[in-house]
Structure 1
Amino acid sequence: MSAGFGQLKALIIKEFKEAFRDKRALMVAFSMSLLAPVMIMVMSKTMIKEMVDKPTVYAEISGGEFAPKLMKEFRDENIVPLSEASENDQRIWQKRGIKITIPDTYGSDMVEGRVINITLSADYSDKPSLSPVRRIKDVVRDHARAIGYKRIIMRGIDVRIMKPLNIVEQDRSQPSSNAMMISIMLGLYLLMGAFMSGLSIAIDSSAGERERNVLEMLLCQPVSTLKIVLAKLTCSASISVLSIVLMLTVTSVSIGFVDLTKIGATFNIDAFTFSALLILLVPICILAAALQLFFSFQAKSFKEAQSTVTMLIMLPAFIPIALTFIDDRPAWLDWAPVAGQSIIMEDLFKGLPVNWAALAVTSLVTIVMSAALVLTLAKKLKSEKVVMALS
């Protein structure tokens, strides 16, 4: 028993030495852990700025002199004529080409109660123009509603007749739920990090060792194939876990630079959240390493292994996004690998209690799948076809 454990220990040490010897592979493994939190911080700051702040919108306004009150509404919402922009801003906003045309019959049509057509011309396929166009439309819509209410009042009609029903909304969500965009991004990055971080290590220790003839020499030793696979799995999965720990640590620091109070939200990774996320993601790291090793050994070359295994990254990206489009989720999704972890992470970020039973079941199913892959791969490594990459 001790001899068997000693062999496994020696194999694990050998795998870690080779992994840490390849600095480029380690840089790839930990790059996402450092870049993802920075991306979350930058994107969150940008989104909050767009939601809360009202940057100046410049538009070519013709006929503004015919509608002074509407022009005042535009200025109150920081929408001003393009002629008042600086030289640099004029160059930017001229490319967007947002134009507002107010007819010269505005005054007479208003007095006679006719419908006034205000033309808004813009490129609706241009993403930077969407927010300014929405703000302009909101101003015109609110101004028109105010005029309509005044006309009703002048005719002695109570404006409440226009709104016979009123919905009183009671938002029961936690403050942390308002930061769902950060939660979605972080959850997606964590799942992808679990699959990506050990990717280069897994490919190099399988297809790479086979091309360098290291695997053949290793199999000639009096060591079981199961121990060889377990050593490679331990190394690759450990690198992924280290990457996840680093990502969570950096995120907990970087998120402090985002002022979420502007949108009435709170988000932090405390010790409980950190531990719960780690418990959720460790089985995913093991499954990812098992899948990567399995498909790498099936490939005929190192290059083919890179192409095949890289496609596995689509798995953690596709499943969480697909879950957002399912309104009535089937019960089996709660314990399915990746899907179950995604659902529990969503509840965790919302501040809801953790469903420990679902967590235990989905973790167990994930570990069982990983064990099945390891046993199958250990059996396949006894075949000369797999070891020599024979067709």
Structure 2
Amino acid sequence: MKQALIVFAKELSDALRDRRTLLRLLIPALLMGPLLLMALSSLIASLETQAEKRTVVVYGTQNGPSLVNFIQRQTYTVITLGNAKMREDYEAALRRGKIFAPLLVIPADFEKKLLHGESPVVELVTDSANQRASAGAGALRGLLRGFSQERATLSLALRGVSTELLEPIDVSERDLANAQARASRLTAMIPMFIIMAVLYGALTAALDSTAGERERGSLEPLLMNPAPHGAIVAGKWGAVALLGMAVALLSSLSFVPAQWLLRSDSLQAMFQFGPGEVLAFWLLQIPLAAGLSALLMALAIRSKTFKEAQAGSTLVVTAVSLMPMVSLLNPGGDAPWYLWVPGLAQNTLMLAVLKGEALRWSQVLPGVVVGFALAAVALMYVARSMRAAVAR
């Protein structure tokens, strides 16, 4: 243990001495929370601002005075496009994402068909690739449904028919999700950034302590020491895992002050990220940091140069970065096997923390077992590779 601690201190000192690499790791970790939450809150605030404007862009207002009157009675402001050229320019700007309000087109026979009891076709022009325009289309659909319901109610009332026939049942909705669970739909990307922080925090140190030392010619002299190879490997692994955990902790902490920068009042009220969430995130990363650090060392120990080890580690980086996508592509719920996959298990559990759910040991233990089992297998491989290098 004493020899392993000596190697651990040496590797940690070497990693901290490389200030350029250290800054490349620490600066993104510290800026991750503020930049992510600022971008997210800016998007939500812009959608809320657009909704507060209560404006409707209409082409053909002269064709539907009753519909325009209904919209204005709902305290909306109607913006009229006077000719076909203005309509074409507006649709082109909507397609390019320059404007975010959908367009309502009223046909020339709108009032005539209403008087004859027919159903005129009103065109709602939006662009599904323009997310802000799609969000505004929902409010406009609500206005059109309200107009249709009002016309139907008045028609039945004039004929002496009860308007209750339109709605034979009353629907009462009850949302079981709390505020944190609703906020997690918007902040579901946070766990992925924390997982990548663990990976990149350990990546450079893992490659440098194995392939980097071999390239500099310092690995073989180290292995000639009488210290057991297991102690050397354990010391290196401990330093690598600690650096990955340190970057993950800084990334998690960055989201705490970032909450002060939220521009959206609704998101600020729902998103609760305090010391408890930071501690839970950090503890959940321990088995992931242990397994990934050992796996990266195992992949790099056979490489002769640092660049060769970087190329070999791309498979791990790609696999870990894609793991959180599995839960996004499966809207039916989390499968039990998620908890047995490194990266995916941590993403699932961190999402549960963001939702305010209490974690059970049955949820946490699979990730712990797999993470440390992966670390044990990979470290044995590293130690055997070192013994083979000495034998040669």
Q: How does the TM-score come out when normalised to structure 2?
A: 0.83
Change (3 A) 1:171 1:130: closer
1:195 to 199, 218, 227: 199
What is residue 48 of structure 1 aligned with on the other side? 44
Q: Match of 2:50, SS?
A: coil
Alignment of 1:285-300 (within 5 A): 285-300=289-304
Partner amino acid, structure 2, of 1:169: E
CA distance in 2 between counterparts of 1:352 and 1:99 reads 42
Match 1:9 to one of 5, 11, 17: 5
Structure 2: runs of 5+ lacking an equivalent: 83-87, 96-101
Counterpart of 2:353, as a letter, is L
Match of 1:343 among 344, 348, 365: 348
2: distance between equivalents of 1:246 and 1:37?
10
- Counterpart selection for 2:224 from 212, 220, 223: 220
* Offset at residue 234 of structure 1 (A): 1.5
Structure 1 residue 104: deviation in Å? 2.7
Q: 2:68 aligns with which of 66, 71, 74?
A: 71
Say which of 353, 363, 371 aligns to 1:366: 371
Cα deviations by residue, 1:74-129 (Å, 9 ceiling, x for unpaired): 5644562367xxxxxx9998622665432233222221122212234455444454
Whichever residue aligns with residue 66 of structure 1, its letter is N
CA contact (8 A) 1:29 1:199 kept: no
Following superposition, the deviation at residue 259 of structure 1 comes to 6.0
Change (3 A) 1:44 1:110: same
Matched, 1:36 2:45: no
Is this contact kept in 2: 1:211–1:302, CA < 8 A? yes
Find the aligned partners of 1:150 and 1:308 in 2 and give their Cα distance: 72
> Which residue type is aligned with residue 8 of structure 1?
A
CA distance in 1, matches of 2:380, 2:94: 60
RMSD (Å), alpha carbons: 3.2
The residue matched to 2:79 in structure 1 has which SS? strand
| Structure 1 residues 28 and 72: CA distance shift in structure 2, 3 A | farther
Superposed displacement of residue 19, structure 1: 0.8
Counterpart amino acid of 2:21?
A
- 2:66 pairs with 1:62: no
1:96 aligns with one of 76, 94, 97: 94
Specify the SS of the correspondent of 1:53. helix
| Aligned AA (1:39) | L
- Whether the aligned pair in 2 keeps the contact of 1:29 and 1:198 (CA below 8 Å) is no
Aligned partner of 1:334: which letter? L
- CA displacement at 1:355 relative to structure 2: 0.6
Alignment of 1:28-177 (within 5 A): 28-54=24-50, 61-72=58-69, 74=71, 76-77=75-76, 80-81=79-80, 95-96=93-94, 99-177=103-181
**Can you list the C-alpha shifts for 1:291-321, whole angstroms capped at 9, x where unaligned?**
2111122345322321231332333332333
- 8 Å CA contact retained: 2:94, 2:127: yes
Q: Which amino acid aligns with 2:359?
A: V
Paired residues in the alignment total 377
Residue 54 of structure 1 aligns with an amino acid whose one-letter code is: Q
Q: Distance in 1 between matches of 2:273 and 2:131?
A: 33
Aligned to 1:87: none
Equivalent AA in structure 1 for residue 384 of structure 2: K
Q: Which runs of 5+ in 1 are unaligned?
A: 84-89
Q: SS of the residue aligned with 1:230?
A: helix
The structure-2 alpha-carbon separation of the partners of 1:153 and 1:17, relative to structure 1 and needing over 3 Å to count, comes to same
Per-residue CA deviation, residues 223-271 of structure 1 (Å, 9 max, x unaligned), is 3322222222112211111112212222111123326652695333333
Query: TM (normalized to structure 1)?
Result: 0.83
Distance change in 2, residues 1:241/1:107 (3 Å): same
> For residues 328 and 134 of structure 1, what CA distance do their matches in structure 2 show?
26
Q: Residues of 2 paired with 1:77 and 1:307: CA distance?
A: 58
Q: Give 1:64 deviation, angstroms.
A: 0.7
Tell me, what secondary structure is at the counterpart of 2:107?
A: coil
Residue type of the alignment partner of 1:202: A
Residue 353 of structure 1 aligns with an amino acid whose one-letter code is: A
Partner AA of 2:294 in structure 1? A
What secondary structure is seen at the aligned counterpart in 2 of 1:298?
Answer: coil
Q: Distance in 2 between matches of 1:182 and 1:125?
A: 19
Contact 1:229–1:377 at 8 Å: present in 2 too? yes
CA distance in 2, matches of 1:61, 1:171: 35
Query: Residues of 2 paired with 1:272 and 1:26: CA distance?
Result: 27
Q: Aligned equivalents of 1:218 and 1:148: distance in 2?
A: 87
